[in-house]
């Protein structure tokens, strides 16, 4: 099984944020990525007539970057394009079959109370069940 912490740790190898969090951005450090469970409706993956060979984890990536809108957007788009282009990857010894981006581009969610710009990327990882 892949956990949010596994996604967080893997992101360190594909992007250059300074801080990485799961569940909560402690002290909201600039140049951070937070990894959260993506709330979706639906049913668990089940195979007909046997065990499923894959599972999924859906996450929301909060890019909490700087007080410069352009810098934040550029970083979020680079991460989006990186995720879009990744092939043949493993996370915690699980082969990743598909990285599905759930929006057409990073979503601008404005600023926090300190004026730091934020963007969100919603992602669904399809991975080999072990």
For the domain made up of 4-128, give the CATH fold: STM4215-like (3.30.2000)
**Structure confidence at residue 45 (pLDDT):** 67
| pLDDT grade for 27, boundaries at 50, 70 and 90 | confident
**What tens digit of pLDDT does each residue of 44-102 get?**
767 777 777 899 999 999 999 999 999 999 999 999 999 999 999 999 999 999 999 99
* pTM score of the predicted model: 0.91
DSSP assignment of the chain: ---HHHHHHHHTTT---SEEEES--GGG-SSEEEEEE----------TTS--SEEEEEEEEEEE--S-HHHHHHHHHHHHHHHHH--SEEETTEEEEEEEESSSSPEEEEE-TTS-EEEEEEEEEEEE--
Domain locations in the chain as residue ranges? 4-128
Percent of the chain with pLDDT over 90: 80
């Amino acid at each position: 099984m892949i956990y949010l912490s596994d996604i967080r740790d893997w992101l360190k190898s594909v992007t250059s944020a300074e801080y990485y969090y799961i569940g909560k951005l402690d002290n909201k450090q600039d140049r951070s990525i937070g990894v959260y469970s993506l709330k979706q409706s639906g049913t668990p993956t089940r195979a007909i007539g046997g065990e499923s060979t894959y599972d999924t984890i859906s996450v929301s990536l909060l890019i909490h970057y700087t007080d410069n809108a352009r810098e934040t957007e550029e970083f979020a788009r680079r991460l989006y394009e990186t995720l879009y282009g990744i092939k043949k990857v493993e996370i915690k010894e699980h082969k990743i079959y598909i990285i599905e981006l759930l929006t057409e581009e990073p979503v601008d969610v404005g600023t926090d109370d300190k004026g730091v710009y934020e963007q969100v990327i919603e992602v669904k990882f399809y991975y080999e069940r072990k």
